Amino acid sequence: MAKKHEIVLIPGDGIGPEITRVSVEVIESTGVEIKWHEAYAGESALCEFGDSLPHETLAAIRKFKIALKGPLTTPVGGGYQSVNLRIRKALDLYANLRPIRKFPGIETPFDGIDIIIVRENTEDLYSGLEHIVVPGVVESLKIITERASRRIAKFAYSVAEKWGRKKVTAVHKANIMKLSDGLFLKTVREEAVKHPEIEFNELIVDNAAMQMVMNPSQFDILLTENLYGDIFSDLAAGLVGGLGLAPGANIGDEIAVFEAVHGSAPDIAGKNIANPIAITLAGALMLDWIGETEAANLIRKAIEAVLSEGKVKTRDLGGDASTTDMGRAIVQKVEELKKK
Ligand code: NAI
């Protein structure tokens, strides 16, 4: 009998509950057996339980090791600390994996975009170390360690080997931040020489940004510190049709949390118009991770088929289909593909 997986499900804030519901329906339509353990985090958890990251949620992720998470709202310029950052730090999910590729049926100026962004997830300017030096002057600390740089570089090469990728491009600003980005780059280079079969190159971040919009298909794996990776993921997502198509994962040595690259989209929350594809692709990535590759491929094929037919498109893709319409179309395709 097929193994029943136990997975934590965090619906999240804003559009989170609408899109995670679709993702779960699509995953279940593949026939993979999953027992979901629902847990709460973010603004919704703060309202309900008085804590944006309840102890029970972290305990559940530690216990079951895998979670599918909807986006979580973080107040801008004040309020509680980012719950996403707290989850990543508390569980040491040091690698942020964000595959971005062009799907058939999506109009973009470029073909052949198939990039995996591997972003260090625990330090850099996201260390949360900020203080007021004197009124009117603040300091934000950029932390880069050899340990974190080495393990993210090793992770990038393990992904390259596992998925047969040919090139790793390190993004940095070591010409200006000679110590911090210098250490990152030096460490990455040391790992790169251990993998002569995989091409290595390095680009200064501003040049990398220009190259990304002029000739994105040159990139294969992009290896970055935390902030650059965050910016490049949205940039790359924009080149393939937007955030509604970009999945991601936060991965540690034992635990992994899968999510969309996008946030809680408060501007469209509760309207049943959000695109559920990004979180559904994150679900497929999760299935890959737990060894359910066949089901993961089935989902990706179903999404590709729906997009290339072009009959069902959510608003962000230029159509007028609802979140639930898109979910239904993908489930129907999964059912059709299963019969073949
Ligand atoms: P956002 O990603 O939520 O939205 C940016 C734009 O993209 C908006 O116009 C939104 O309507 C659109 N969009 C996003 N996802 C979409 C989808 N699935 N379908 C159609 N359109 C979509 O970024 P924003 O507005 O900067 O952040 C909103 C909140 O989300 C903030 O509190 C932020 O901290 C949080 N956030 C959470 C993340 C996470 O949980 N991993 C990641 C990024 C932001």
The total domain count for the chain is 2
Query: Final residue of a domain: which of 223, 240, 257?
Result: 240
Owner of token pair 């804590």: 51
Q: Best substitution site from 85, 119, 262 to test ligand 1's pocket, by max atoms within 8 Å of Cβ?
A: 262
Regarding whether 249 and 232 lie in a shared domain, the answer is no
Q: Best substitution site from 72, 232, 243 to test ligand 1's pocket, by max atoms within 8 Å of Cβ?
A: 243
Regarding whether 153 and 75 lie in a shared domain, the answer is no
- Kindly give the number of the ligand 1 atom that is closest to the alpha carbon of 75: 32
Q: For 8-44, write each residue's pLDDT tens digit.
A: 999 999 999 999 999 999 999 999 999 999 999 999 8
Q: What is the pLDDT of residue 111?
A: 84
Regarding whether 286 and 261 lie in a shared domain, the answer is yes
CA-proximal residue: ligand 1, atom 42 (nearest): 263
Regarding whether 236 and 124 lie in a shared domain, the answer is yes
253 as an active site residue: the answer is: no
CATH number at residue 258: 3.40.718.10
Helix (H, G, I), strand (E, B) or coil at 57: helix
Regarding whether 115 and 233 lie in a shared domain, the answer is yes
Tokens of 221: 């794996």
Catalytic hit among 65, 89, 173, 313: 173
Q: For 181-214, write each residue's pLDDT tens digit.
A: 999 999 999 999 999 999 999 999 999 999 999 9
Regarding whether 287 and 164 lie in a shared domain, the answer is no
CA-proximal residue: ligand 1, atom 4 (nearest): 265
Alpha-carbon span 43 to 93, nearest angstrom: 21
Regarding whether 206 and 85 lie in a shared domain, the answer is no
Alpha-carbon span 222 to 151, nearest angstrom: 15
Query: Final residue of a domain: which of 178, 212, 240?
Result: 240
Alpha-carbon span 246 to 115, nearest angstrom: 11
What is the distance in A from the centroid of ligand 1 to the CA of 335? 30
Alpha-carbon span 299 to 285, nearest angstrom: 10
Regarding whether 223 and 149 lie in a shared domain, the answer is yes
User: Which domain does 169 fall in, by range?
Assistant: 109-240
Query: Final residue of a domain: which of 187, 222, 240?
Result: 240
Regarding whether 297 and 212 lie in a shared domain, the answer is no
CA-proximal residue: ligand 1, atom 26 (nearest): 263
Q: For 56-102, write each residue's pLDDT tens digit.
A: 999 999 999 999 999 999 877 767 778 998 999 999 999 999 999 99
